[in-house]
Amino acid sequence: MKISQLEVYRRLAALSTAGFDLERALQTSIVEGNGARHDAVIAVAISIRRGTTLSRALAKHPEVFPLSDRAMIEAGEKSGRLPEVFTALAEWYELKAQLWRIIKSGMGRPLLSIHAAAFIIPIHMVFMDLWLEYILSVLFFLMIFYVPAGGMISLYRGSDKHGSFRRLLDRALLKMPILGKGLRDIALARYCFGFWTLFTSGFPIPRYAEIAADLSGNAEVSAMLYGGRESAQQGKPISKGFSLELPRDFLVLWEVGEESGRLDQTLRHLYEKRIERGEFYLKEFSRWLPRMIYFLVVIVIIYYLLSEGTIISLRI
């Protein structure tokens, strides 16, 4: 059974809080698992036994432990707050799993409808013993949906997350009705989550402001937040460097937290508020997504029937 990132961090949080030393906690956290993540954790435990720090041991396995995780763990290591960091990472991966379940639940029925329509619409060809034409029609119908979606996903994953093309794509996503608001709030929540976790780490402020901006997961939102690092480098409050395009309530609350000296509590509040809003918008999007896909299916069906009718009339 493959062990998930969520399970690893959840077990590490529980074991380190209970007083287990790091090497034993790592070995115990994956005792029932297997796969690449299982092997990487074992290798990390061996490295620690040989005197390597946890952050350096994790850096040898970037395919399992992304830079954002490693940065937060390094901060927890330096500040002596590893159990809290493991708990925070477990919370984040649990939230990611929950958000993914919301999206999948909204995609299930529309995808089923697309496949059903692809096989049913040209069914008359089967009765005419036109099997090759039937198969080609099914494939054509499915390609209308999958080729654009697959192309966009490939472009997004293959682009440099700091490049202008990724920023252009992320900007377009943020402009989408409902989904854009959800993605923006999730990105801001990730920033607050990272900043809050690194806040007492002992890192220089510009450094964890930069790390937290990278954690947002959206190039456009990150660009709006990067000014916070530059502002901190100049000895000014971080909020002074934020883009004014960010939500007004986010900017005001951050400024209040800095002025009152209670930024840590403000960050937690902002994180929880943005997560709640982002979750709400994603649920709304998953509720409307089937309707949008049904509408596209109807358009494709009409186009298909009209093109079929044109072909038949030409044959006659």
Q: Is the dihedral of CA 240, 241, 244, 245 positive or negative?
A: negative
The pLDDT tens digits along the chain (316 residues) read 577 888 888 888 888 888 787 778 887 777 666 778 888 888 888 888 888 888 888 888 888 888 778 877 887 787 777 888 888 788 778 877 877 777 777 677 777 777 887 888 778 787 888 888 888 888 887 887 788 877 777 776 776 666 777 788 888 888 888 888 988 998 898 888 878 777 766 666 767 677 777 777 788 888 898 888 888 888 888 889 999 999 999 999 999 998 898 888 898 889 888 888 988 888 888 777 777 777 777 776 677 666 655 544 444 4
Structural tokens at position 143:
């390609």
Give the Cβ contact number of residue 165 at 10 Å. 13
**pTM for the model:** 0.69
Amino acid 62 reads: P
pLDDT of residue 275: 85
Provide the residue ranges of all domains of the chain, joining segments of one domain with +: 5-65, 91-316
